[in-house]
C-alpha cells in the first residue's frame, strides 16, 4: 500500500476519532480505512491507536507520529502549491537568448516594460550570434531571426522585419540613387560576410515577382552587421540590412532607403522554446507580451509610415 495515502488516512481517523467518519470524508470504505492504519502499524511495529467498541484514542507514540505526519503532509502541500504557482503565476528566472543587436535594442526595453507588469520575474538575457541548444544550455526561450532548423522546437511568430538597401544622404549626393537592382553594380556595396551568399543580394521584380540576384562588391566587408550600419551612416556605401537594425536611422534621416519597390524577402522573428505542454507562466506571458509589442506594426517599421504635418 502507498504509505503516503496511509498517512493521510491515519491523520483523518485521528482527527475524526472514527474510522467510519474518516472513510466517508476520503470516499473510502470503512474496511479500507482500517486496512491503511493497520498497514502503518505493521510496518512501524507499533500501535498507533487504542480501539474499543465505543472509543478510539491515540497512543503516546501515536500522538508523536500524528504530529510528524501532519508536518510531512503540510510540507508536501506547500511544495505542490509553490510548484503550481510557478506554472500559473509569472515568477522566477527567465533565461532568454537572442542576437546581440536585437537583444540590446529591442528586447532590453521590452524586458523593462514587462517587468513593470510582472515584478516577480527576473530575466537572464544572454546575447550571442548563431544557433544555441536550448535544452543543453538551459534556456527557457530564444528569439530567432533566421530560418528555424530544429523541427523539435516550438516556435511562435512574433513579427517580421523588412530588409532594405540604404545609404547616407551624403553618399547619394555624390554617387546618385540606384533605380534598379542592377544599378548596384556601379555602387560601393558593404558586404556582410556572415550572411551567405556573402556578395549576392536577392530582389523581387515589382510586377512579375521574378527574383533577381545581383552580385555586389565594395570597399568594406564585415562579419557583424552593425559595423556595416555604422559605416553606411558615415557615408561609406550602401548596405542591405533589416529594418529592426536601421529603423531608427531611417526615421531620423541618417539613412535613406532605396529600391523599395524591389523588396527582398522579409526576415521572420520567432520565439522558440523546447516544449508546448506545461509551459510555465513566465514563458507564456513573456511571449504574449512580445507578440503584442511587435504587432501589428513594430517600431522599426514606423519610418515607412506617411509623415504627418
What pLDDT, in 10s, does the model give residues 264-302?
Answer: 778 899 999 887 666 888 999 999 999 999 988 999 999
What is the rounded average pLDDT of the residues 109-128? 95
Phi and psi, residue 167, nearest 5°: -155, 170
Strands (E), 101-168: 121-127, 141-144, 154-161, 163-167
pLDDT over 50 at 171, yes or no: yes
Does residue 263 fall inside a structural domain?
A: no
* Calpha distance 196→46 (Å, rounded): 76
Answer yes or no: do 131 and 275 share one domain: yes
Is the pLDDT higher at 229 or at 48? 229
Q: Using alpha carbons, select from 282, 272, 5 the residue that is nearest to residue 141.
A: 272
Query: Residue 203's beta-bridge partner residues?
Result: 212
Using CA atoms, how far residue 227 sits from 22, 48, 187, 249, in Å, is 74, 77, 18, 14
The residue to which cell 531571426 is assigned: 145
Structurally, the chain folds into a number of domains equal to 3
Does residue 154 fall inside a structural domain?
A: yes
Answer yes or no: do 149 and 280 share one domain: yes
Answer yes or no: do 116 and 192 share one domain: no
What is the rounded average pLDDT of the residues 20-30? 89
Q: How confident is the model at residue 76 (pLDDT cuts 50, 70, 90)?
A: confident
* Calpha distance 193→2 (Å, rounded): 63
Does residue 188 fall inside a structural domain?
A: yes
Answer yes or no: do 286 and 222 share one domain: no
Q: Given this model, what pLDDT does residue 134 score?
A: 87
Does residue 196 fall inside a structural domain?
A: yes
Answer yes or no: do 17 and 83 share one domain: yes
Q: Given this model, what pLDDT does residue 278 score?
A: 65
Q: Which domain holds residue 147?
A: 92-158+270-304
Answer yes or no: do 173 and 151 share one domain: no
Q: What is the pLDDT of residues 223-270, one digit of tens each?
A: 999 999 999 999 999 999 999 999 999 999 999 999 999 987 788 999
Run of H or E residues at 201: strand 200-204
Does residue 185 fall inside a structural domain?
A: yes
Q: Given this model, what pLDDT does residue 276 score?
A: 62
Assign 288 to helix, strand or coil. helix
pLDDT over 60 at 93, yes or no: yes
Does residue 265 fall inside a structural domain?
A: no
What is the rounded average pLDDT of the residues 178-207? 90
pLDDT over 50 at 309, yes or no: no
Using CA atoms, how far residue 8 sits from 2, 16, 27, 83, in Å, is 10, 12, 13, 21
Answer yes or no: do 110 and 83 share one domain: no
CATH of the domain at 278: 3.40.190.10
Q: How confident is the model at residue 132 (pLDDT cuts 50, 70, 90)?
A: confident
What is the rounded average pLDDT of the residues 36-58? 86
DSSP code at position 261 = T
Q: How confident is the model at residue 86 (pLDDT cuts 50, 70, 90)?
A: low
Answer yes or no: do 55 and 178 share one domain: no
Amino acid at each position: 500500500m502507498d504509505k503516503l495515502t496511509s498517512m493521510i488516512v491515519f491523520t483523518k481517523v485521528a482527527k475524526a476519532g472514527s474510522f467510519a467518519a474518516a472513510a466517508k470524508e476520503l470516499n473510502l470504505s470503512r474496511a479500507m480505512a482500517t486496512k491503511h492504519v493497520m498497514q502503518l502499524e505493521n510496518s512501524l511495529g507499533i500501535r498507533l491507536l487504542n480501539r474499543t467498541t465505543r472509543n478510539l484514542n491515540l497512543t503516546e507514540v501515536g500522538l508523536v507520529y500524528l504530529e510528524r505526519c501532519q508536518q510531512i503532509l503540510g510540507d508536501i502541500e506547500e511544495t505542490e502549491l509553490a510548484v503550481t504557482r510557478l506554472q500559473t503565476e509569472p515568477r522566477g528566472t527567465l533565461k532568454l537568448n537572442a542576437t546581440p543587436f536585437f537583444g540590446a535594442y529591442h528586447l532590453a526595453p521590452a524586458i523593462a516594460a514587462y517587468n513593470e507588469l510582472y515584478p516577480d520575474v527576473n530575466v537572464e538575457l544572454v546575447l550571442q550570434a548563431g544557433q544555441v541548444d536550448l535544452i543543453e544550455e538551459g534556456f527557457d526561450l530564444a528569439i530567432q531571426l533566421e530560418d528555424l532548423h530544429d523541427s523539435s522546437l516550438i516556435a511562435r511568430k512574433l513579427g517580421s522585419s523588412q530588409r532594405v538597401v540604404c545609404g547616407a544622404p551624403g553618399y547619394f549626393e555624390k554617387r546618385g540613387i540606384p533605380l534598379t537592382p542592377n544599378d548596384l553594380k556601379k555602387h560601393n556595396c558593404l558586404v556582410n560576410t556572415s550572411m551567405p551568399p556573402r556578395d549576392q543580394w536577392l530582389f523581387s521584380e515589382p510586377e512579375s515577382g521574378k527574383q533577381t540576384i545581383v552580385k555586389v562588391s565594395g570597399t568594406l566587408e564585415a562579419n557583424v552587421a552593425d559595423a556595416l550600419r555604422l559605416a553606411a551612416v558615415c557615408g561609406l556605401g550602401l548596405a542591405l540590412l533589416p529594418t529592426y537594425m536601421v529603423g531608427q536611422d531611417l526615421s531620423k534621416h541618417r539613412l535613406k532607403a532605396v529600391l523599395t519597390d524591389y523588396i527582398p524577402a522579409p526576415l521572420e522573428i520567432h520565439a522558440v522554446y523546447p516544449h508546448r505542454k506545461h509551459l510555465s507562466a513566465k514563458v507564456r506571458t513573456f511571449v504574449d507580451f512580445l507578440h503584442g509589442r511587435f504587432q501589428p506594426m513594430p517600431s522599426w517599421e514606423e519610418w515607412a509610415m506617411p509623415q504627418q504635418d
